[in-house]
Structure formats: structure tokens, C-alpha cells
Structure 1
Amino acid sequence: MTQVAQPETDETGGSDTPPQQPAGDGQKKPFFILYLNGEEYFAELRQLAFWVDHLLIPVYGKEVTSSAPWCPRWREHPEAIAQLHGLWLAWQSLTGPNAEVTGPAQWHRDYLGMIMDALRNPSGPFAGCKPGSHREVARPPVADDGFLDP
């Protein structure tokens, strides 16, 4: 059986609810990493990296092949960060101490496979990466035609 490092709750955000950020009306709402900036972004990314590197990949990472790539520098792929952050938020909500007993099964059924399949798809964010090699994915160009200018 694989032994997984048991991180501190504050490192993994392993509470029963996703991290919260105050909304404008005083209510709290879950936040998404792509909405964060500066130190707030990097603090969240460090917590996500701890969860990915010490729980997700040791338990659920399968062999890297050309048909199922993985990049050890996943933190340099914005799409991977976004997908993994969503997966981690779902993990926190469905596996924390106050989660329903069926929460872990729901996380496996509804989130894990779909996200990992998208990330490890040969045309996904790690398409150009090979073991020992990292390459950014070429993104489609966006027109700079002034449409969004005020």
C-alpha cells in the first residue's frame, strides 16, 4: 500500500469547505486561483502544489506515456493550475471532516477521472512535455483589433 504524507490541515486546505473569500455583500464565497494576484496567488499555489505533489500524484498518478503525458513542472501550465485547483476545491468540500460519508466516492466519480483525463490527454496542457523535458503549449492567437478598448 502506498504511504501518503499526512500534511497539516492548513497546508492542504483539508477542511470540509473550500477556502472562502468575502464577497462584496459581506457573504463568503469560494474563490478560484485564477482570480487571485500577487502573494495571495502564490500562497494558494503553494498549498495546491503540496496537495498535488504529496497526495494526488503519489496516489492517483499513473505511468507517464506519450498517450498520457504529465509535466513535473505543471505549475508553469496555467490550464493545469486551473484544473487542479478546481479538483482540489472539490476534494476539500467532499472529503473534509464534515463531508457526507459518500463524499469521497462522489469526488472519485464526478471529478477525479474527468480532470486527470483532460490534463493527461495527448492534446492537453502537457502535450509538448516529455519525461525530463518541458515545453509550453502554443496558444491560439487573440485578435488585438481594439474591440475591447473603451
Structure 2
Amino acid sequence: MADEPDETPQLDVPVGMFEDIEDLKAQVAKLTALVRTLAGGEGDEPGEASADDAETVGGEAAAEEDDGEEAWQYPPFILLLDPPEYDDELRALIEWVEGVLVPGYLAEPSAEARWCHLWWEHPVAIARLHAVWLAWQELTDPASCGYTGPSTWHRDHLDPCVRELRSSSGPFAGCTKGEHQIDHRMPGLVPSAWAMGES
């Protein structure tokens, strides 16, 4: 043939390199076939995916990313929510505080350890208790934090929150049995976690 050189160049190539090149060629061929199968264009040349194929693959990837974000998204901080999401989150928070926190951790209120039975009327209390509740949801799950999570929750979240809320300068400072620092709604109008199904 006219295209062939007159003499073959002498290349100093290590003996095992030809085998490595053949292995690489086989791997590239497998990956090319896999890409063609996934793209749905078995007759196309490598790198020649049609615009429709690209849109389909891109759309599926975007849908998977959206699903992944929703599946792993933590609940947002309550003060960033608007109704009706805020109302739903507040009802769930009330249920947790009244069902877990109050009976399990809060002794009888006193001048040194204040508590307001209408705590959800105090935005600062809502913010602090919601943050503690979010931490509780994460740190009481052994799958995400091991078995030291509850200890961390008590030390780093619950204890500082309760100290701040019940201190003499906290949000309940003016709340005694007959007086309140802020105007409370009548008890019949207070949102209740137990009355969610009645409306």
C-alpha cells in the first residue's frame, strides 16, 4: 500500500503495555455500549446523542434531583413559615411541648423558674422551643447520630433553652398566675394540637 511507511519505526514499548491498551479498549467499548443503552440510541455513534435523548436524560436527572431534595429536606424553622404551614407546624410543636417537654422536664413554675401556660403567645418562646424540637427530632434518632444524641440534646439544646425561657429576664418574666406581659387570647380560641380534626 502507498500509505504505509517504508519501514516500521522501532518503538521501545514495555511488554505489558499492549495488554493494558487492549484492556482499556474493552472497557471503553463496554462503557460506550452502556451509554448507548441508557440514552436509548443503540444505532448512534458514540457522542452523537440526539437532542431528544439529551432532553429526556436531562429531564430525568432533574426530576431525580428534585425528588432527592424533597426526600432529605429537614423541616424549616417555624419563624420562616407563612400560614397555613406555620399553623400546622405550631400545632405539632404544641403537641410535642405539652406531651413531652412539660410533663417530662418542667417542674411547677415558681418565681425562679417561670413558665407560661400560654407560651405559644410569646414569639421568643415559639422560636426557642421549635429549635429545641428540631434538634430533638434529629438527635433522638440513633441512625443519624448514634447513641450519644440524647445526651448531646440535653446538654447543648434543652438545658440552655429552658434556662433562658425560665429565667427572671426571659420571655415569661411578666407571666404570673393573674398577669401577663402580653395580651393573651381567650383559652377557647387557643390553637390546640388535639382539636386539629374538629375544623
So what's the TM-score if we normalise by structure 1? 0.70
Q: Specify the alignment match of 1:16 in structure 2.
A: none
Partner of 2:100, secondary structure, is: helix
Give, in whole Å, the separation in 1 of the partners of 2:124 and 2:153. Answer: 20
Q: Percent identity?
A: 50
Partner residue, 2:123: 78
Task: Give the superposition deviation at 1:30.
Answer: 4.3
Partner of 1:4: none
Normalised to the residue count of structure 2, the TM-score between the two structures is 0.53
CA-CA distance at 1:36 after TM superposition:
0.3
The structure richer in helix per residue is 2
Q: 1:73-92, CA deviations, whole angstroms, 9 ceiling, x for partnerless residues?
A: 00000000000000000000
Cα RMSD for the two superposed structures: 1.8
How many residues are aligned here? 113
Partner AA of 2:175 in structure 1: C
Higher RCO (C-alpha under 8 Å, 6+ residues apart):
1
How many angstroms does 1:62 deviate by? Answer: 1.8
**What's the secondary structure of 2:84's corresponding residue?**
helix
Tell me which of 83, 95, 100 is aligned to 2:140. Answer: 95
Alignment of 1:1-150 (within 5 A): 26=66, 27=69, 28=73, 30-96=75-141, 98-99=143-144, 100-136=146-182
- Rg larger for: 2
Aligned mates of 1:98, 1:120 — CA distance in 2: 32
Unaligned 5+ runs, structure 1: 1-24, 138-150
Deviations 1:7-63, CA, capped at 9 Å, x for gaps: xxxxxxxxxxxxxxxxxx954354100000111000000000000001001000022
Alpha carbons of 1:96 and 1:49: their partners in 2 closer, same or farther (altered >3 Å)? Answer: same
| Structure 2 SS opposite 1:38 | coil
Give the residue type in structure 1 aligned to 2:98. Answer: D
